[in-house]
Amino acid sequence: MKRIIAICIMFAAGLSCLSAEMNPRKRYIEMKWGFDVYAGQNAMNLTDIFQKELVLDFPQIYRNIGNGPLSIDVGLNTTAYDFSVVFGGWGAGIRAGISGYGTFSVSNDMVQLLAEGNTLDEEQTTSFSLSSGVFINCDIPFYFKVGKLRFVATPSAFVPMLYIPASNVTVKYTMHSDGSMDLVGSTTANVYSLAAQNFSMQDTTKSVSEMTFDAETIFQSLGVDLSLAVEYPLFKNLDLGGYATVPIIPGRLNKRLSGGTIVSIHADPVLGTALNGSNPFTVTGPDTKPWVVEDAETFYVNRPMRLGAEVAWRPFGGNWFVLHGRVGGVMRNPFGKDFTWNLNYIYPEYKFALQLTGLYVFGLDISTEYTDRVFTHSAGIRLNIRVLELDATVGISSPSFLSSFTPDGVKASISMKMGF
């Protein structure tokens, strides 16, 4: 039995060395499940957050974020089902999953105010921003070759379950030299979803549990995009490739959870009012628009559009030592009503990785990347026993490059592959 296992390992290792694919498959028929999740921020180190007593050092937080906003980013990408059959570069598959992201930011002015104080008798403006998207997708990849070129064309159908365009909370305030303060805060938010009933902020749990989605609504909301990846073996140990994802038909949402609040506060000098026992605060409002789900003009949502190039280099021959590189650009919700030409919707992405494999069974992956506006440095392990492969990766992440080494956030992924 030991000899048979050894022969299988040697045979597989030999195939690995002969392969010239950028990402060589290890099985002809394969099923896969997995997920990856990340959360990052650029304000504080995780070692400072997970303390018995949390200390908010605003001057240090202001130094940490630099000239940009304070950002909190989260994301999730799951593969609920992935089945593919590929022989000699030809084949097809089907997969389904859920992906989502969320971004919350506080303007640099607000953090500066908390860190350094304010300017007297001048109106200042600060803002908070929130955006998010959740998608369910079904993909059908097709694998084929044209000469030495290898292609993967993947038409995808997706349903935007939730989409929040970048929404701002604006706060205007004036600190007067006599010690008084005036503050006006306003927010208007629109949350687009498939929900078909009113949403109560007072009973969120009940509202979420009662959400219903009928088949007709889901079908009418379907969007379609197309991904294409191509690779070419320039040399025996060097593969070049490119990838693109382009929208074809946007997803459609016509149910909107909307609401807003305006509130004004005037504060008299605290010391004087405290001595005479009066209330220093005069509050006007809040003037609140109820949060309700309503029929709205159709809002078009696309998954991110991507375009880039990649390379795989095997400096020593074979797949036991491989250097990967990928550089590209992303447009979030291109052609959407909320799309604007700024870094919230257009940003670069890259990934550089070292992949080590021993006896085709054990693997170590080390990478650094900027994906979905988050910098991540990861290390992962692989265990491949031919019919079963387990991959696990953990990394540190942050929206800020310098803070990503501290760490300020985490990223983790786990996947399992089966087949032969």
Q: Which residues of 161-172 are buried (b: 16+ CB within 10 A; e: fewer)?
A: bbbbbbbbbbbe
Tell me which of 49 and 289 has the higher pLDDT.
49
Amino acid symbol at 369: E
- Residue among 158, 156, 304, 307 nearest 229 (CA): 307
Helix axes 108-116, 58-65, angle to 10 degrees: 150
| CA torsion angle 21 26 31 32 (round to 10) | -70
Read off the pLDDT of residues 229-278 as tens digits, 9 standing for 90 and up. Answer: 999 999 999 999 999 999 999 999 888 877 777 778 777 765 555 555 55
Cα–Cα distance measured from residue 2 to residue 47, given in angstroms and rounded to the nearest whole number: 47
Task: Summarize pLDDT for 322-376 with one digit per residue, the tens.
Answer: 999 999 999 999 988 888 888 888 999 999 999 999 988 999 999 999 998 889 9
DSSP character at residue 404: G
Residue 386, helix vs strand vs coil? coil
| Predicted confidence (pLDDT) per residue in 267-317, tens digit | 776 555 555 555 566 666 566 666 677 777 888 999 999 999 999 999 998
Query: Where in the chain are the domains?
Result: 2-164+195-250+297-419
Give yes or no for a contact between 27 and 245, defined as CB atoms under 8 angstroms apart.
Answer: no
- 3-state SS class at 142: strand
The superfamily in CATH containing domain 2-164+195-250+297-419 is monomeric porin ompg (2.40.160.40)
Within 66-174, where are the H helices? 108-116
The arithmetic mean of pLDDT across residues 187-200, rounded, is 68
What is the model's pLDDT at position 7?
37
